[in-house]
């Protein structure tokens, strides 16, 4: 696949992400409407997608290293289009959760293959710029998706939102059918008849132990996802508290300002050489800024302040996500899919635990305190990990 076509696909993929953001708005609004504003049902909706990805993430990494990743992406797109189309005709709360679970499984296969294949298309040396570009498109899709999802839901209803999302997956499906790109042969291709999950996890752990910086970043990200469950649950509740009658609109608006911060950040990342000096430090400091931002975001009661902190948080979050993926993509191609797969499994485990715990913490405390507890744990883990890496760097055992 030549460079112009490959870049075109990044736009197509962003359109699919736009559709997913829109359907999350519609699903959340339908769940709250059908259950009388239940935080448990809303948490269940968010948890369903995480659990689907959790169950498939380890296998998706193995499959991504042993089969053609492009074909995995094609199948995932077709399945997601069919699943979301079901809700056009049967928008029952239990079925919404089931579809969300199934889409989470398919999305795990797609995302692992997509992220693992990017260095093969563009080269490892270009990954910071490419990840920033992908982040920019994703953020633009988020801004348009959350705003568009809220408006489209209010104007035309949930059917229009779900139809758009299904069509976006079909567009990606047909695009991938028509294009190909060179792929490197992988030694594990000869072992496609048998998926040895235990051995593959051991391979990942063994590889990361030889790369202590990656090992530290890898597991710190698990704590990050645990804490992130608090704001994923908290933002729709904050939107309902600001204006219950227009919850979907405020929900989309808050996420859109966060996405706008992502866009600005993704434009600046390739243009700031200081961020390249140490991707590890950049990741840690940006993640601390992101957690502090979410604490202020969800502790505010005034809409202008909420929008301001949402934007600032988005700026830090884009840097954190971009540097994390860039660090993971420096791994060898033969094991990169499994690294993303195991990473996805642990990250979704953190989300799942967070979504299970967050509603109970919310019952005992206020929303701002709940978010502070969760994101405070991220900041603490980051400071401890950074201190540990600094000690190893002083001893000469790692290079930062």
How confident is the prediction along the chain (400 residues), in pLDDT tens digits per residue?
A: 445 556 778 888 888 888 888 888 888 888 877 877 776 787 788 778 878 887 887 688 778 888 888 889 999 999 999 999 998 888 888 899 999 999 989 998 998 888 888 887 777 777 778 888 887 888 788 778 777 777 787 778 888 889 988 999 999 899 888 877 666 544 444 444 345 566 667 777 788 777 778 888 877 887 888 888 888 888 888 887 777 667 767 877 887 788 888 888 888 887 777 777 778 888 889 999 999 999 999 988 788 898 999 999 999 998 998 888 888 887 777 788 878 777 777 777 777 788 788 888 888 888 899 999 999 989 998 888 888 777 877 776 666 5
The pLDDT value recorded for residue 257 is 85
Residue 289: the pLDDT is 93
Range 320-323 contact pairs with CB under 8 angstroms and sequence separation of 24 or more: 320/224, 320/283, 320/286, 320/287, 320/290, 321/135, 322/128, 322/131, 322/132, 322/135, 322/266, 322/269, 323/128, 323/275, 323/279, 323/282, 323/283, 323/286
CA distances for 38 relative to 28, 34, 45, 361, 374, angstroms: 11, 9, 11, 15, 21
CB 331 within 8 A of CB 48: no
Q: What is the structure's pLDDT at 366?
A: 87
* Residue 327 · residue 281 · CB < 8 Å: no
Tell me if 371 sits within 8 A of 357, measured CB to CB: no
Q: Residue 194: left if φ>0, alpha if ψ -120 to 50, beta else—which one?
A: beta
Query: 199-221 burial, b if ≥16 CB within 10 A, otherwise e?
Result: ebbebbeebbeeeebbebbbbbb
Question: Which residue is it, tokens 């840690």?
Answer: 284
How far, in Å, are 61, 108, 308, 331, 390 from residue 115 at the CA level?
11, 11, 31, 12, 29
Contacts of 353 (CB under 8 A, 6+ apart): 226, 229
Distance CA 335, CA 323 (A): 19
Q: Which two tokens stand for residue 127?
A: 């990954």
N-term to C-term CA, the chain: 35
Say which CATH superfamily domain 3-177+197-395 falls into: MFS general substrate transporter like domains (1.20.1250.20)
Task: Give me the pLDDT at residue 379, please.
Answer: 92
Structure tokens at 215: 């090992």
Q: What is the pLDDT of residue 138?
A: 80
Of 320, 352, 364, 139, the closest CA to residue 232 belongs to 352
Distance, CA of 34 to CA of 179 (rounded, Å): 43
């Amino acid at each position: 696949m030549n460079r112009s076509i490959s870049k075109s696909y990044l736009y197509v993929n962003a359109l699919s992400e736009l559709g997913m953001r829109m359907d999350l708005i519609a699903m959340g609004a339908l769940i709250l409407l059908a259950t009388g504003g239940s935080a448990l049902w809303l948490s269940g909706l968010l948890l369903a997608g995480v659990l689907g990805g959790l169950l498939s993430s380890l296998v998706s990494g193995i499959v991504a290293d042993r089969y053609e990743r492009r074909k995995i992406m094609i199948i995932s797109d077709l399945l997601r289009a069919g699943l979301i189309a079901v809700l056009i005709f049967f928008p029952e709360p239990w079925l919404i959760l089931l579809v969300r679970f199934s889409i989470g499984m398919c999305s795990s296969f797609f995302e692992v293959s997509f992220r693992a294949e990017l260095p093969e298309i563009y080269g490892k040396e270009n990954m910071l710029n490419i990840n920033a570009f992908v982040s920019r498109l994703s953020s633009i899709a988020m801004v348009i998706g959350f705003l568009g999802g809220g408006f489209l839901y209010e104007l035309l209803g949930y059917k229009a939102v779900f139809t758009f999302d299904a069509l976006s997956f079909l567009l990606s499906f047909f695009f991938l059918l028509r294009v190909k790109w060179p792929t490197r042969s992988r030694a594990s291709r000869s072992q496609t008849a048998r998926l040895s999950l235990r051995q593959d996890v051991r391979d990942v752990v063994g590889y990361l132990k030889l790369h202590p910086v990656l090992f530290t970043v890898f597991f710190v990200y698990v704590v990050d996802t645990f804490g992130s469950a608090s704001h994923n649950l908290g933002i729709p509740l904050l939107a309902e508290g600001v204006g219950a009658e227009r919850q979907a609109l405020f929900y989309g608006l808050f996420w859109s300002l966060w996405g706008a911060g992502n866009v600005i950040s993704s434009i600046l990342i390739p243009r700031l050489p200081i961020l390249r000096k140490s991707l590890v430090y950049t990741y840690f400091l940006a993640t601390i800024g992101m957690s502090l931002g979410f604490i202020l975001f969800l502790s505010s009661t005034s809409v202008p302040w909420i929008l301001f902190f949402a934007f600032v948080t988005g700026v830090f979050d884009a840097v954190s996500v971009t540097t994390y993926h860039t660090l993971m993509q420096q791994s060898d191609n033969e094991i990169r899919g499994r690294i993303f797969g195991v990473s996805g499994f642990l990250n979704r485990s953190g989300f799942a635990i967070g979504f299970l715990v967050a509603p109970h913490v919310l019952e005992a405390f206020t929303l701002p305190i709940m978010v502070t507890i969760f994101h405070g744990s991220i900041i603490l883990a980051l400071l401890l990990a950074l201190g540990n890496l600094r000690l190893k760097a002083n001893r000469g055992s790692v290079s930062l």
